[in-house]
Amino acid sequence: MALDADTPLNSLGIAKPVADTRVVVAMSGGVDSSVVAAMLADEGYDVVGVTLQLYDHGAALAKKGACCAGIDIHDARRVAEEMGFPHYVLDYENIFKDAVIDEFADSYLAGATPVPCIRCNERVKFKDLLETAKDLDADCMATGHYIQRFDGPAGPELHSAADANRDQSYFLFSTTPEQLSFLRFPLGHLASKDETRALAAKYGLSVADKPDSQDICFVPDGDYAGVIEKLRPGAAEPGEIVDTEGNVLGTHNGVIHYTVGQRRGLGIGGLETPLYVVKLDVDNRRVIVGPKEMLATRIVPVREINWLGDAPFDSQPEWHVAVRVRSTRPPQPAILRPISATEAEVELLTPEEGVSPGQACVFYDTDSSRIFGGGWIWRGH
């Protein structure tokens, strides 16, 4: 239907009547995405729920607390039935294995500390699923992520969630401006998770009291090493634990069991100074340990940068921002020095411990809740 230029924007920022606005909702089966779907359906939008099957259904059924497993597909379907909108399950197993799981295994084996949830958002949910949403003639795609999107003078902007404890900006930094124009995050403004659960109860959803998933979906019990051994047999080969001078202090049963910054479980007692894993030498199967001060990092090399600022990234020699080098730490002041449009050196004004290749470095405005994108940490200090 032809739209009048004066058609007001609906609550999703689209100049169409609510009933004529199709929204694809990415439904994981959890409370957050279920509430988004129910809320939009209740408002009268043309909602289509889509759930991704990301790995083997039979094996997944037994795993508690894991996203997108068989029980979650069932829960998502039930919410769609309760609220009366169509629901589809898409088999993305091959895409997920190629785009997320294989890289997770390889980077872990290379001594990095990968964050597969970011790659899943970047390469699966906001790429293939977003294209599927467009194929379904959707006007936008909504997710249950805790992050905010505002229309700024230069286009859509990404902002941290209102509830700092739920903020998921660290996992969404690689969202491009083009994707952002099509995405909506209806929960980002909520003050707490309690509000989300209250909405679930209001809509009478069967998932209202479902616990949050804590783990990476294909590592449901947090046993990274066990998953890697299945994916890459022979990866857990024993080797030596050495100090920075190369002196052998002990042995280990596989580099994959260690991460930079780890102190416990090294099995090298009787030393006066506590030792930490400072580096993983994968090629020589060595775990290198040293005193805590060796973990402090000031200069962090970052590549594959996705920039969400208004001016081009390399249009000035440096940017004064706040950065987050781990999802569990608050943003800290830093200077960002572009090397190219997608590479930079980040100087942390206060050195941080345990900065590891494979983690993300996310950039924040120091004066607002805006996120300027981020990149991947790619080598140790």
Condensed to tens digits (0 to 9), the pLDDT of residues 330-379 reads 999 999 999 999 999 999 999 998 788 889 999 999 999 999 999 999 87
Helix ranges, 110-176 (H): 116-120, 130-135
Of 67, 117, 217, 361, which is the active-site residue? 217
pLDDT digits (tens, 9 = 90+) for 157-169: 999 999 999 999 9
Task: Choose between 71 and 213: higher pLDDT.
Answer: 71
Pick from 2-11, 113-122, 272-281, 342-351 the range whose average pLDDT is largest: 342-351
Residue 65 confidence (pLDDT) above 60? no
Mean pLDDT of 107-114: 82
Task: Return the pLDDT at 4.
Answer: 54
Average pLDDT, the chain: 89
Mean pLDDT of 126-139: 95
- Burial status of residue 87 (CB atoms within 10 A of its CB: 0-12, 13-18, 19 or more): buried
Counting every residue written for the chain, the total comes to 381
Give residue 186's pLDDT band: very low, low, confident or very high (50, 70, 90). very high
Task: Return the pLDDT at 303.
Answer: 96
Q: Indicate the SS3 state at residue 293.
A: helix
Q: Which domains does the chain have, with CATH numbers?
A: 18-202 (3.40.50.620), 236-290 (2.30.30.280), 296-377 (2.40.30.10)
| 12 phi, psi to nearest 5 deg | -95, 5
Beta bridge partners of 251: 240
- Each as own residue / partner, the long-range contacts of residues 107-110 (CB below 8 Å, 24 or more positions apart, any chain) are 107/358, 108/224, 108/228, 108/256, 108/358, 109/228, 109/232, 109/235, 109/255, 109/256, 109/282, 110/282, 110/357
Cα–Cα distance for residue pair 168/147, rounded to 1 Å: 6
Q: Classify strands 183-184 and 239-243 as parallel, antiparallel or unpaired.
A: unpaired
CA distances from 218 to 32, 122, 165, 214 (A): 20, 17, 24, 11
Q: How far is CA 182 from the centre of its chain?
A: 19
Task: Return the pLDDT at 74.
Answer: 92
Supply the pTM of this predicted model.
Answer: 0.88
Task: Choose between 221 and 314: higher pLDDT.
Answer: 314
Of 68, 120, 140, 361, which is the active-site residue? 120
Percent of the chain with pLDDT over 70: 94
pLDDT digits (tens, 9 = 90+) for 262-282: 888 887 876 778 899 988 888
Mean pLDDT of 117-141: 93
With CA atoms as reference, report the closest residue to 169 among 377, 378, 374, 353.
374
Q: Does residue 217 have an active-site annotation?
A: yes
Q: Does residue 361 have an active-site annotation?
A: no
Give residue 37's pLDDT band: very low, low, confident or very high (50, 70, 90). very high
Task: Return the pLDDT at 69.
Answer: 55
Mean pLDDT of 11-26: 97
